[in-house]
Amino acid sequence: MFKGRVTDVFFDLDHTLWDFDRNSGLTFGKILAENQVQVVLDDFLNVYNPINLEYWKYYRENRVTKTELRYQRLKKTFDALGVAVTDALINQLATAYITHLSSFNHLVPDAIEILEYLKPNYRLHIITNGFQEVQDRKLKHAGINGYFDQVINSEMAGVKKPDPYIFRLALGAAGTPSEKALMVGDSIEADILGAQGVGMHTLHFNANKEPAHPYCSSITELREIKSYL
């Protein structure tokens, strides 16, 4: 579908190449135990994960700061579970989470396979809303940083996806026009609509099997990219 029309492929990182949910769960298993927080891990994650997504949406919309995001997602989770924790412990857990998150480096199935498949024929890049300090470690520790020519993050750009500026910044850094670029990501709002706003081709990695939508083609496994490139 995109063969002959695309020279550069831009990937989202979390939930697209890097298995955020699995690595995050392992990180919480470690830090909650080390800090002797009396909570069942599965119960914690079931409450935390949707709250985390909610606060990332607030962060994209500039409704909360990075510090507020890191504190409030934990505070809201413990409150919902009825677990009493001090502000000092929440801040301690928030710091430990960032410290240890990149020490777990499971990738989404087929990530290495598809990067190996694409690398000889396309220039590959990352556009991520994640924090630079964490995202750089994820790429390095997972052993995939060498696949990418440009890695653009929201802290570097000063704005977050879907703001058109971060996509234009990435295109400029890559030296490619939007009509030659493909964005692959899991978020319809941040990745797909954001990239389309500057004229990029898009492919939705619908790993969570969200309802069908009219915006672009969708895949549920990364290996399906081979049908498009």
C-alpha dist (Å) from residue 118 to 15, 59, 121, 165, 179: 19, 32, 6, 26, 18
Q: Is residue 2 part of a domain?
A: no
Domain's final residue, options 70, 101, 132: 101
137 assigned to some structural domain? yes
122 and 187 share a domain? Answer: yes
What's the burial of 86, exposed, middle or buried (CB within 10 Å: 0-12/13-18/19+)? exposed
In 111-122, which positions are buried (b, 16+ CB within 10 angstroms) versus exposed (e)? bbebbebbeeeb
Write down which residue in 101, 130, 159 finishes a domain: 101
Q: What is the pTM of this model?
A: 0.92
**pLDDT above 90: residue 4:** no
Tell me, yes or no, whether 52 lies in a domain.
yes
Overall average pLDDT of the 25-30 stretch: 98
Q: Is residue 163 part of a domain?
A: yes
Structural domain count of the chain: 2
Q: What is the pLDDT of residues 178-229, one digit of tens each?
A: 999 999 999 999 999 999 999 999 999 998 888 999 999 999 999 999 999 9
Give yes or no: residues 32 and 136 share one domain.
Answer: no
Residue at 1 is within a domain:
no
Q: By residue range, what is the domain housing residue 82?
A: 20-101
Q: Which pLDDT score, from 0 to 100, does residue 130 have?
A: 84
The string of pLDDT tens digits covering residues 118-158 is 999 999 999 999 888 899 999 999 999 999 999 999 999 99
Show the 3-state SS of 165-204: HHHHHHHHHHCCCHHHEEEEECCHHHHHHHHHCCCCEEEE
Give the pLDDT confidence score for residue 133 in this predicted structure.
Answer: 87
The predicted structure's pLDDT at residue 1: 80
- Note the Cα 209 to chain centre separation in Å: 17
For residue 31, pLDDT beyond 90: yes
pLDDT for position 25: 97
CATH number at residue 97: 1.10.150.240
Residues 114 and 209 in one domain: yes
